[in-house]
Structure 1
Amino acid sequence: MLLGGNFWIVAWFFLAALVYSSAGFGGGSTYTALLVLNDVDHRVLPMLSLVCNLLVVSGACLRFTRQKQMPWSRCVPLVVGSIPMAWVGGSIALDREVFVPLLSGTLIVAGVLLLWGGRKQQGDGSASSSLEHENDSLAIPPLSGSMDLGWRSGVVWQTTLGAGLGLLAGLVGIGGGIFLSPVLHLSRWSHARDIAATSSLFILVNSVAGLIGQTSKHGWSLGEIATEFHTHAPWWPWLFVSVLIGGQIGNRAASSWLSHLTLRRITAVIVLAAGIRLGWM
C-alpha cells in the first residue's frame, strides 16, 4: 500500500503547508496535531513539525526580504525575546499526559484568536479610507494615545511578549507565529503585510531554537534522530517533500486565489478542529 497506508497524512501535510504559507505561517500546529492523531511518539513529533516549519517558512522569509517587506527595526524585539525562551521550552521534557492537553489547549486558543482577529480586521478594513485601500487592501489604522505608544515604542513589552510566546512555542514544538499574528492584528501593531512578514521570521527563528532544544533534551545525535524518525514515522521523508512543495505553491500563488481573511478563517477552523479532537483523546 502506498506509503504504508499513510498517504492521507502526507496529503494533509501538503494542504496545511499550502494554506498556512499563504498567510505567512509554517503550519507547525496542524502538523503536530496530525502526528499526535497518528500516534507518533511525542518525543519525535515536535522535531518533525519544526523541520516542516523550517521548510515552509524559510521561503516566505526569503520572499518578504527580497521584496523589502520585512520590518526589521520593529520585529527585532519580538524575535530577540523569543529565541532563548523557545530553546528553553524545547529543552523541557514533557510526558504525553501533559504534552497532549497542553497542545490541545494552545490550538483552541490559537483558533479562537484567529477568528476574533479576522472579525476585528474585517471591521477595521471596512472603515478605512479609499487611499489606504489603494496602498494596502489589508491596512489597519494605528491606535492613538497610550495604547499606540505602548505597542509602537514599548520595546520591553514586545520583548516580553516574544519571550512568552517563544516559551510556549518551544514547549509544544511549533513556531509560535499562529499565536503572535492574532495578537499583533488585535493590537493594530502594523499593516497585515508587516505582521505576516514578522510572523514568518518569528516562526523561523523559534523553529531553529526549539529544534535545538528538542534535540538537546534527549541527547540524540543526527544519526539517532534519523533512526527515531524511521522507527516512529518511516514515511517522514514524504512529509518533508509534501510541505516543501505545498509551501512553495502557497508562497507564490495561493494568496491570489483567496483573501487573507478567508485564509485566516480556514486556518482557524482547522486549528480549532484539531484542538478539540485532541482534547477528546
Structure 2
Amino acid sequence: MATLLFAIISLLYASVGQAGGTAFVSLMAFLGMSSTEMRPTALGLNIVVATYSTWLFNRNKVVDWAILRPLLFSSVPASLAGGLIVLEDHMYKTLTGLVLLLTSAMMIMQRRRAADRLCETSLTASVSIGAALGLISGLTGVGGGVFLAPTLITLN
C-alpha cells in the first residue's frame, strides 16, 4: 500500500514540476519511520522524481537552463553536504517542521504580489540561493522544489 501511495505522490507532484519530498516525509512519518530512514529515502525518491519531472518539462521546452544551471551547480553539492550531517530525531523533526512552516508563510504572504515586477538576481545571488536551499534540502530530506518555489515567487 505504501508503494502505491509513493507512486501516486510521485505522479501528482511530477506533473507540476515538483518531486514530492513534503508528501514523502509526511507519509513516512505517518508510517512511523525514524528520521534516519526518512531523510535518505525521501532524498532518493526526490532524485528519481525530480529527474523525471525535469526531463518531462525540458522535453516540452519549458526549462530555462540559464536560470537553473547556477542553482543546480551550487545546490547539488550543498544538498549532499546537508545529507551527510546527521541530526538527532527530535532536532530533525523540529527543523523540518519549522522550515516547512516558514516556506508556507512565504508563499501565503507573496501570493498577491504583482507579477509585472521582476527581480533580477546576479550569478552570485543565484549560486548562494542554490547552496542555501540545497543545504536545507539535504538536512531535511524534503527536496529543493518546495523551498525554491516560494523563493522564486518572492523574487518574482
> Normalized against structure 1, the TM-score is what?
0.51
Measured against aligned partners, the alpha-carbon deviations of 1:101-146 in whole angstroms (never above 9, x if no partner) come to 11111121222233334x23xx63xxxxxxxxxxxxxxx4342xxx
Alignment match of 2:135 (pick from 155, 158, 167): 167
* Structure 1: tracts of 5 or more residues without a match: 1-6, 125-139, 189-281
Tell me which protein shows more helix as a share of its residues: 1
Shift of 1:98: 0.7
- Residue 59 of structure 1 is matched in structure 2 by 52
Matches of 1:51 and 1:63, distance apart in 2: 19
Alpha-carbon distance between aligned partners in 1 of 2:105 and 2:8, rounded to the nearest angstrom: 21
Q: Where does residue 275 of structure 1 map in the other structure?
A: none
Structure number with greater CO (CA < 8 Å, separation at least 6) is 1
Partner Cα separation in structure 2 for residue 86 and residue 55 of structure 1: 15
Q: Deviations over 1:170-193 (max 9, x none)?
A: 0011221111111112211xxxxx
Q: What is the match of residue 83 of structure 1? A: 76
Instruction: Give the aligned CA root-mean-square deviation in angstroms.
Output: 2.0
- Is the CA contact 2:9–2:20 (under 8 Å) kept in the aligned structure 1? yes
What amino acid maps onto 1:175 in structure 2? G
Aligned counterpart for 2:116 among listed residues 117, 120, 141: 141
- Greater radius of gyration (CA): 1
Distance 2:152 2:97 in 1: 22
| Partners of 1:114 and 1:26 in 2: CA distance | 18
In structure 2, give the amino acid aligned to 1:62: W
Partner of 1:179: 147
| TM-score scaled by length of structure 2 | 0.87
What is residue 198 of structure 1 aligned with on the other side?
none
**SS of equivalent residue, structure 1 residue 69:** coil
Which range moves more in the overlay, 54-63 or 12-21? 12-21
- Taking the aligned partners of 1:48 and 1:37, their CA distance within structure 2 comes to 14
Q: 1:44 aligns with which of 30, 33, 37?
A: 37
Contact 1:113–1:179, Cα closer than 8 Å, also in 2: no
- Segments of 5+ residues of structure 2 without an aligned counterpart are none
**What's the counterpart of residue 111 of structure 1?**
104
The one-letter code sitting in structure 1 at the alignment partner of 2:142 is: I
- Aligned partner letter, 1:22: S
Summarize deviations over 1:140-182 as a string: whole Å, max 9, x none.
4342xxxx34x2xx11111111111110000011221111111
